[in-house]
Every structure is written in C-alpha cells, then in structure tokens.
Amino acid sequence: MKGNKSITWKSARLISDIFVPPTFVLFAFILLGIEFENNLTLKWLVILTGFVFGFLLPIVIFLFMRRHDLVANRDATIKEERTLPYVVGILLSLFAAGICYYSGASHISVALWLAYSGNTLLLILINKFWKISAHAIGSAAPLGLLFYLYGTPGLWLFVLVLIIGWARLKLRVHTPMQVAVGIVYGFTFTYLQLLYYVPLFH
C-alpha cells in the first residue's frame, strides 16, 4: 500500500511538471499556427511566438526566480510569490500580441494572446485574497479555445484537465475548490474574451 502511494504521488508530480501552464500555451499556438495561418512564414511566426513568449521565457524566468530564492518551491505554494511571474506573463503576452498583430497573423492568435493577458491580470487580483490553481487555469484555457473553435467536439481536452486537477490535489498544493474554480475560470474567461476580441480584429 505504501509503495502504491509513492507511485501515485510520483505520477502526480510528473503530470504537474510536464503539464505546466506554459505547455498549454505552446499547444494552443501550435494549433493556431497550423490551422489558421495561410502561409508558411505566418505559421512559423505564430508557433515561434508561442514557443518563445508563452513557453520558453516564462519557464526560464521562473527557474531564475527559483535559483535566487524568489519562489519557495516549484509549485509556488506561497501566493504572494506568484505576483511577479504573473506580471511578467502579462507583459510577454502583450508583446506577443503586438508581434502577431503587426505581422498580419490570424485575428484568433492576437485575440488569444490578449485573453491570456486578461486571464493573468484578473488572476493577480484574485491572488491578493485567495490562492487559485494556475495549473487548472492553464489547462482549461485551451479548452475554452477549442470550444470556441470547434464547439462541443473540442471538449475532449477536459479529460486531461481533470487528470491535472487530480495531480494538484494529490500533491496537496491546492484544495478541491481552488482546482474547480481554476477550471471554470480558465475555460469561461478565455471563451468570453475570445467572443469579445476576435470580432475586433476581423
């Protein structure tokens, strides 16, 4: 029994480490680059922008903060330590949105970067009073994108969202309420922002 618990904990740790929020940002922009850009240059621009500003830089900055003890642990369990990475995330998202917009990338790519920026801005405000699961938000945001693009068939990702939610609970870094609210928040707020922003860039 003890061995089984150890295996499940290690599985939860692995899931949490692989499926960090930047992983889903990269996934989203790979999808948008492939599906919605009509030439190879823009496809690579959207994918590389997602890789650099949504995946690579956030991870490098977080690792830098960990190395200099600005964040206590890999789960950033102290909510006050999350503010700086969130602010950096907003700036990176806005910069990436500008690159996509002025390069003539799809309006959906621009809108999604703005949605990520909006998600994080509100998250900073929530984080002042209550800790919410960034993993849950990060995994549910692309769910909102898929639902916006494809309707109910896009909800297949919900299975992975639930697995990630389980992992965060297993590691005891969040309560069930923090995970559940994170999922609802990530999905709903991303979807609503896409409904608002996409028509603006048509």
CA dist 197 and 199 (Å) reads 6
- Tell me the residue range of the domain where 189 lies: 2-200
Mean pLDDT of the chain: 92
How many domains would you assign to the chain? 1
CA dist 151 and 37 (Å) reads 20
pLDDT in tens, 41-65: 999 999 999 999 999 999 999 999 8
The predicted pLDDT at position 61 comes to 93
pLDDT in tens, 113-158: 999 999 999 999 998 888 899 999 999 999 999 999 999 988 899 9
pTM value is 0.92
Segment 5-15 mean pLDDT: 88
Three-state DSSP at 1 gives: coil
The predicted pLDDT at position 4 comes to 53
How far from the centroid of its chain's Cα atoms is residue 73's Cα? 19
